[in-house]
Structures are given as C-alpha cells and as structure tokens.
Copies of this chain bind each other. A is one copy, B any other.
C-alpha cells in the first residue's frame, strides 16, 4: 500500500486509512486521462479535446438533457453520470479510437477490456467490481441509462464538429452517410436529440461543412 507521497514510500496505515490511500492512488493514476487526445477539436482554440474534458462535457450534457431521455423520469441520472465519468478510463491504456476508424475498432473492445482489468483493479475490490460493472453496462448499451449515456457520448462530438465547420470530419474525409450511420443509435436513448442531430447534420451539409455521400 502506498503512502501520501507515492507508491514507493513505506506504510504504517490502518485498514481504513489504507483503503483511502488506495482510492487516492487510483485518483492520481486517472489524471492520465487529461493526456489522451481525441479527434474532435474545441470550439474556441480548435485544439484537440482530451478525454477528461470530453467526460466533463458529457456530465454537463447529462444534467441538462436528462429530461429528454426516452425513458423519461425513470432515468437513473446518478448511474448515467457514474457511467460517463468512467467510460473513457480504459483509453489511458488502450488509447482513443476515432469513431470512424473501422480498422482500429476491430480489436478495440479486446484492448479496452484488458485496460479495464488493470485500471479498475487499482481500486479496492468492491469498488473495482462496481466501476467495471458501470463500464460493462455502458459498453453493452442495453439499459435505458447506458442508451442515454451512449446518446450524449455520440452527440457531443457531433455538436463540436458542427460548431467547428466540420473540422474533424473534413480532416478524415468523413461524409454525411457515415455520420448518420455511426451516430443513429442516439435515437435509442433519446429520440428528440436524434431529431435535433439529423437537422444539425443537414445544416452542416447545406453550409458546406460536411460532404454529402459520394455518388456511387
């Protein structure tokens, strides 16, 4: 068990203090999420967004948009928040996979599951199980909470893309049909948000910020 100055220092802690120290080592480890960069750029300086900022922005989306969830007031907002807070931690080891990188996606879940073992395993066992369960639930996209979390996770980068003249889409040659195909599961968690997103994407095409499907 590590002491307050770091993992290499000696320890003379009670079990309760050792549990807290272990939790704090986890909090230090996940600071690395601030250096995992995404393809999406921020609206102000148009630099690459990192996973920690993205995760915060999703939290904000959740508390602002929860009322629109398909399941209505039955949505367990706390569980949605917990999911979005931890959903990208696996990328500390596995890296970010761009939403349109089909090659990268082939082994994505495998790499991320190995990362989940290590990263959540830093916590005390009961919390490791809880956090791993949240990540598994998010990945499976079966519960109303996971569907809503996935909806905001797909909507937020679309929104940033639309407000930066399609920066990430254009850099990677992504066309409207791929944006629609990749993100339409937003409707499973929040059909109102998908209606908005479809209009937003069409507006981006009309403005010349996103290319339509190429002719066959």
Question: A residues touching B (Cβ–Cβ < 8 Å)?
Answer: 3-6, 9, 16-17, 20-21, 23-24, 26-28, 30-35, 42-45, 49-50, 52-53, 55-57, 59-61, 63-65, 68, 77-78, 81-82, 85-86, 123, 127, 156, 159-160, 162-163, 192-193, 195-196, 199-200, 203-204, 207
Neighbouring B residues of A27 by C-beta, 8 Å? 57, 60-61, 64-65, 156, 159
Asked whether B127 lies within 8 Å of A23 as measured between CB atoms, the reply is no
Neighbouring B residues of A63 by C-beta, 8 Å? 82, 85-86
Q: Which residue of B lies closest to A4 (CB)?
A: B200
Neighbouring B residues of A5 by C-beta, 8 Å? 162, 200, 203-204, 207
Given contacts A52-B53, A53-B50, A78-B77, contact A196 B17 (CB under 8 A): yes
Neighbouring B residues of A56 by C-beta, 8 Å? 33, 52-53, 55-56, 59, 85
A17 to B3, CA, bound (A): 53
Asked whether B34 lies within 8 Å of A53 as measured between CB atoms, the reply is yes
